[in-house]
Amino acid sequence: MERGARRVYAAARRPETVDLPGVVPVRLDVTDEESVRAAAAVAGDVTILINNAGISRFTNLVSGDPAEIRAEMDTNFWGTLAVVRAFAPVLVAGGGGAILNVLSAQSWHAYPGTNGYHAAKAAQWALTNGVRTELAERGTVVTGLHLGAIDTDFSAGYDGPKGDPAAVARAGLDGIEAGAAEVLADAWSAHVKRSLAGDPERLQAEILGGAV
């Protein structure tokens, strides 16, 4: 509301849990296409779409349960794509609008025990880049927001340093306002992005050494 929004929708599988003052709760399960279509019909005046749904089942690719890996892909990749496809006509009808996909520094690096998540987030990053090219001619700005661990329920089991969710949210909104293709919300994401130009074994050695 601080940036002039007339209405803010907060989507959740259990909308009764949404207790943010001033927002409109909407039922949404990104893995259920009927639910996605219904949400797009309810929120037909949206001009900014933020895709923040994500799960990690802490799986490895070789030894992990394939069902858990599929669940990660279903939410992080297929769920994001379903929401983008449903809301793209809404955004275009409103003049173009913007999409912000919440990604991860793990879009770019592997880590033992979370490689199913890594693969799903890498796919979501590719999805973001592809959607950006497809929607550019329709006037829709598509921004990818990369971040490390932040202090939310998602990272409750992580013992390392965590960023401020409010700061990350501001960075994402600033990126949308600037029409940026990509936002690096913290120093760790910026470091990982820079490392992509080097030998991947160096970054992997650093990560396995605990510098995450």
- Angstrom distance (rounded) from CA 107 to CA 194: 13
φ/ψ region of 53 (left if φ > 0, alpha if ψ in -120 to 50, else beta) reads: beta
CATH dotted code for 9-208: 3.40.50.720
Give which of 149, 154, 155 is closest to 167, Cα–Cα: 149
Could you tell me the CA-to-CA distances from 64 to 114, 146, 192 in Å, in that order? 10, 25, 25
- Where along the chain do its domains lie? 9-208
pLDDT in tens, the chain (212 residues): 566 778 999 999 999 999 888 899 999 999 999 999 999 999 999 999 999 999 999 999 999 999 999 999 999 999 999 999 999 999 999 999 999 999 999 999 999 999 999 999 999 999 999 999 999 999 999 999 999 877 566 655 666 666 678 888 999 999 999 999 999 999 999 999 999 988 888 888 888 885 44
φ/ψ region of 197 (left if φ > 0, alpha if ψ in -120 to 50, else beta) reads: alpha
**What predicted TM-score, i.e. pTM, was given to this entire model?**
0.90
For the annotated catalytic residues, the residue numbers are 117, 121
